[in-house]
Structure 1
Amino acid sequence: MTYDNLKLTIDANIAVLEINRPKKLNALNRATIQELHEAFKSLKDNDEVRAIILTGTGEKAFVAGADISEFADYSVEEGKDLAAKGQETVFDYIANFPKPVIAAVNGFALGGGLELAMSAHIRVASDNAKMGLPETSLGVIPGYGGTQRLPQLVGKGRAFEMIMTAGMIDAETAKNYGLVNHVTTQDELMELAQKITGKILRNSSQAIKAAIKAVNANDEDGVDGFKEEINAFGEAFGTSDFKEGTQAFLNKEKPKFS
């Protein structure tokens, strides 16, 4: 499948998906959001792909925000629909994706761009990265999960400060806050993302899928995350990967997961 606003390459079980609108600093418009949904849907069904690295084209921006020109004249109902559809088709879809998603944040990750990075399971950043949620400076609030995921990652107080001031933080501050896992140079960013992904691929895809679901269960209203973990733990005993992993361990061999 070809895309107008994305680049997709697949190699050694890893898909690299780039938002490719460099002249717009990779800003998210409706077409890009739709293509992101289509791309992730195809990657979910692709048995060759076991992990995804999500990044932006160029050296300036991961995603510099949403394309404001598209919604500047929206009504209340259109605004609600914009947020609901975006969360359902992309942001929540990525957060609950059954394969690990690593965001490689190069440059600006602002507004919807930071929300996109926060939807990923792991974030690494280049040392020139700048992150923030500037929506209140436009008279609106984050609408793609920013008010929910940011406090989970950095704590309520810091989330309030970032949202209320509409300011940006640098990569090292983001690391200290727990917003990103690692910081490296821009030249080494993709290499680091590939290295982390390579470590993930040594392990059971069946177990990782269950772990993603169990971790996310803690954030769902009315769901007992501990109960979800217990169920997933028990069900793992019936998988081929459990048999392979335990036998390899007992035989002092490296497991060969299916």
Structure 2
Amino acid sequence: MEDRGTPASKAVFDYDAELSRYQPRLREAFDVRPGDSVLDIGCGAGQTTRESARLATGGSALGVDVSAGMVARARELTAAEGLDNVRFEQADAQVHPFPPERFTLGTSRFGTMFFADPVEAFGNVRRALRPGGRLVQLVWQAGDRQEWVAAIQRALAGRDPAPVPPAAGGPFSLADPAAVEGVLTTAGFTDVSVSDVSEPVYYGADPDSAADAVLALRMASEVLVRLDAQEVERALDRLRAVMAEHSGTDGVWFDSRAWLVTARR
């Protein structure tokens, strides 16, 4: 899924709300047809999987995610909607033994950046696609192009964040278009295309709820765990102030940039 880390609190971050402005762009890019068999990689709570299933009226959709909790939530939401052509599995797409040449379309919404071995992972996904099958995914551009990263890290640390090179298996590991094309080509894909997509991301209805949402992310816990009690309070005050600066009548939003990556088996 599009997880950015282990929660720092008991709160569960709402990625569907965060990425709501990206969803129409993805829906258009997926272009799910009635007979498609869809594999959704890193499906989270299953929003994109269910959308694909509703469009694949004569086909089906499978969502996979490494998080048991997310898969359970996806199943719960799917049962409530009464969809019968969608299912979910707790699985690591890098190594899971998918049926060969089973799917016509592979999709992912910020769920492919966390592979330990991207070439192996995308090779495994490629084998699961039928000849001519498409892969459509969104991945983050570099961290220094994300307003939410800079603003949140600056608020928590009290200073501008130091530049950090994209780490393998991290949220920005596929930020370099040339590297993405190289990985997919090596994995056996063709017709690789990378295009710029920019939409704001949502953090909450008001500054307090937005600050609480941020505290459910690893990017917050990794900073706060190094601070003493007084420094934590000052960091939280700065975080609420930043959320207030980005708050409007429709909630708290930050700019973001992503790559829409398409390829074909």
Give the TM-score normalised by the residue count of structure 2.
0.26
Larger helix proportion, structure 1 or 2? 1
Give the TM-score normalised by the residue count of structure 1.
0.26
Larger strand proportion, structure 1 or 2? 2
Considering Cα pairs closer than 8 Å and 6+ residues apart, tell me whether 1 or 2 has the greater RCO.
2
